[in-house]
Every structure is written in C-alpha cells, then in structure tokens.
Amino acid sequence: MPGIAVTADAYAQERDEYLASCRTSVEGSRVTAYCHNPYPRTDRVQLHVECDRWWDIDSDSAPVAIGPTAYAELTQRCWKEVRDAWISHQPVRD
C-alpha cells in the first residue's frame, strides 16, 4: 500500500491546527498554565519549568489530555526564581 507524500510545511500546518490554546502566568516561584482545547481532537499538554538557581531542580508536570472543548490548569514551582516556562503539545490521534 503506497503512503501519502506530505511536505514538511503541510505536516506542520496540520499538526498546529489542533493544538490547545495555552497561556502561562508566573507569580513569584509558581507557574500556572491555563489551556483550552476548542478543537474536535484531544491534545496532551505538559508544563515545563526551568528554575533560575543552579541548585533549584527543574520540573515537568504530568501530561494532561485535554479533550474537545475542555479546559485544564497545570501548576509547577521552583524554590526561588523561575527562569523559563513552556508548554509542550502531543496531539492524540484517534
């Protein structure tokens, strides 16, 4: 059975089409991500936090599957300052 040839741009566009919309908020040493999935496919999201101090352990939240029209809040923290925070997405194929 032959496969379907897809360009990298077409693949990236299709992949980004069904990602949940997320925003992050940093308050002191705590990071909260607010995610909403308005699409018909489930998106698995994970919050990643990089702490500023060398001795402060970076952390990742557990992955959370956000179904169609669902909402989720994810939180993580550092002992002291936060250097960076981001969300990763893994669309769930039906």
Per the model's pLDDT, the better-predicted residue between 11 and 83 turns out to be 83
Span 65-80, average pLDDT: 96
How high does pLDDT run on average in the chain? 87
Taken in order of first residue, the domains within the chain and their CATH numbers are: 20-91 (2.60.40)
Give the per-residue SS3 of the chain. CCCCCCCHHHHHHHHHHCCCEEEEEEECCEEEEEEECCCCCCEEEEEEEEECCCCCCCEECCCEEECCCCEEEEEEECCCCEEEEEEEEEECCC
Per-residue pLDDT, averaged over 41-58, amounts to 95
Say how far apart CA 51 and CA 27 lie, in whole Å: 13
Residue 15: per-residue pLDDT: 56
pLDDT for 16 = 57
**Per-residue model confidence (pLDDT) at position 83:** 96
pLDDT digits (tens, 9 = 90+) for 11-40: 455 555 679 999 999 999 999 999 999 999
Residue 93: the pLDDT is: 81
With a cut of 80, say whether residue 4 has pLDDT above it.
no
